[in-house]
Amino acid sequence: MSKAAGRTPILVDCDTGIDDSLALLYAVASPDCELVAVTCTAGNVDARQVAENTRAVLELAGRPDVEVAIGRETPLARVLVTTPETHGPQGIGYAELPPATMPLSQRFSPDLIVEEARRRPGALTLVTLAPLTNVALAVLREPGLPRLLRRLVVMGGSYRSPGNTAPTTEWNVSVDPEAAKIVFEAFGSRIAEGSASTEGSAAARSTRPTALGLDVTERARMLPEHLAALASRAGCAPDGSMSGGSGGSIGSAVNPIVRYVADALRFYMEFHSRYDGFYGAFIHDPLALATALDPTLVRTEPLTVDVELGGRLTTGETVTDWRRVWGRPPNVDVAVEADADRFMARFVERVGDLAAQRGGLAGTR
């Protein structure tokens, strides 16, 4: 199936914690997104909990028809580490959702990625919000994957800023650095092949992955006022405050999506208040999803990126050749700027409208 009616076919690979779930809500809420499927891997929580969270959030959003598949449940070469201190024991903060009723796909996530890319060559955008385990396995199964995809958008890496896992490493890459290295190298080699090819079809060309690291995703800050604006747009009358760490509600009881977002984000905001000095939340993954739909949200620079696997202090670092000393061709378009204000306004508008529709309150704003 090709891109239809101006909608971008999107396949999401995630490890559904709090910000992954917000990205899924954004995808469902976006009229320019055709959500093809969601593949799951371990990261923020274990893979089985990821699949449960993913299906429950899609049901909350009214999309039980979206295929959800599970992939490999451990990193390629390392022991799995999860992050309950950041996302809560179930991965969705203080939020509670009914158990998912939609069935899990019979397909294995890497196979699903390859099959969907083959089914619509040159049309599908793959958005990764998790460790790159599934994508690495997919590209090992199908080395031509970089030329089958229209785009790969990666939330991962730390290119010009401190890390959030170790001093120089970002979470998604650090969980499975071997997978990240495989993906970046595979796309780099296929780009070189594509540039030498005389074939003109979309399937024969390859573009560099777009990578959004902490450098830009930490500019997307969800603050209490954004949450209040989202609730207002959904038709919820304020009955408290989220400001200053008070943890109050914002009229969320009458709207299931607003209630979910508020309860999930309260945990995230408390975490960032303890560790990052502000009461709010970095919503890394929704910015990556939004960029897949609208590339003008970020400015990128073509760079050569490698992943450190053996450093005593730096394993998982995305080593970036800013001065071009390696003399190797660029293999990643690294985001260096983001229009965070435009993105945040769009997030409030789209997810607020989805909440209004799902809550039966669309006509009350």
Q: What are phi and psi of 79, to 5 degrees?
A: -70, 135
CA atoms within 13 A on the CB side of 5: 4
Q: Are 135 and 294 in contact (CB under 8 A)?
A: no
Known catalytic residue: 272? no
CA-based torsion, 45, 50, 52, 54: positive or negative: positive
Residues 169 and 9: their CA atoms lie apart, in Å, by 31
State whether residue 211 is helix, strand or coil: strand
Structure tokens at 363: 């006509």
DSSP for 239-304 reads -S--GGG-----SGGG-HHHHHHHHHHHHHHHHHHHHTSSSSEE-HHHHHHHHHH-GGGEEEEEE-
- Element (H or E) spanning 9, and its range? strand 8-14
Q: Are 202 and 150 in contact (CB under 8 A)?
A: yes
Taking alpha carbons only, the member of 115, 171, 114 closest to residue 140 is 114
Structure tokens at 41: 């891997």
Taking alpha carbons only, the member of 12, 21, 82 closest to residue 56 is 21
DSSP for 23-82 reads HHHHHHH-TTEEEEEEEE-SSSS-HHHHHHHHHHHHHHTT-TTSEEEE--SS-SSS----
- Which of 87, 226, 272, 284 is the catalytic position? 284
Tell me which residues are annotated as active site.
284
